Amino acid sequence: MVNKTHRFVMPFILVLLILGLTLPACTCQNTTETTPPEQLAGGALTFEAAEYVSTDYGFSVKYPKDWKEQTSTEATTLFLAAAAKRVPAISISVQDSATFAEALTATLMVEGSDINITAERATTLADGTPATEAAVKWKAQGLSANTFALGVQKDGKWIIVAVTTASLLAKYDETLFSEIVHTLQFN
């Protein structure tokens, strides 16, 4: 009996840990229009921020200060941080793809399948840089996940900032996730 329980529980715990380290966002809520952070009350963020800076690609992104940096072995992932429950999590990656949808799909395919971009639209960063944002429903390690992502094409590469959660562990908050990804800023 103990051996049977062990064979079920250990893989389940492993999947939850992997999801927490790699996911970008999840739930069954409908996509809503988002407000970039510069349009929020005086441009102030609604969260206390930490900042990731990429000197190689010349950009920075802010994320909640209480999210802890995680390690990733994926070559295209530049940065990964997650909340205490391991979700939500922010991932920043660079992809060589022709379109945003292709770059986003390639980013998520590393950890999942059944990727469905439910909404994709043009947006701009605070400095006027053209960008594309999307809401995605997908399966990460077999579990339902939701992601809110933003991409900017620079020098033939897509910079993808994505926030993901698994609905079993943390609520999908598109307003917050959009605010986080829209902090992308180029130097």
What CATH number does residue 141 fall under?
3.40.1000.10
C-alpha 106: how far from chain center: 13
CA distance 86 to 8: 21
Residue 163 above 80 pLDDT? Answer: yes
Give the per-residue pLDDT at 143. 84
Number of domains in the chain: 1
Give the per-residue pLDDT at 133. 98
Q: Which amino acid is at 65?
A: K
Residue 4 above 60 pLDDT? Answer: no
The percentage of residues in the chain with a pLDDT greater than 70, rounded to a whole number, is 78
CA distance 182 to 131: 9
Residue 11 above 60 pLDDT? Answer: no
In terms of pTM, does the model score above 0.85? no
Give the per-residue pLDDT at 141. 79
In this structure, the number of other CB atoms found within 10 A of the CB of residue 145 comes to: 30
In this structure, the number of other CB atoms found within 10 A of the CB of residue 53 comes to: 13
Give the per-residue pLDDT at 7. 41
Range of the domain at 68: 2-186
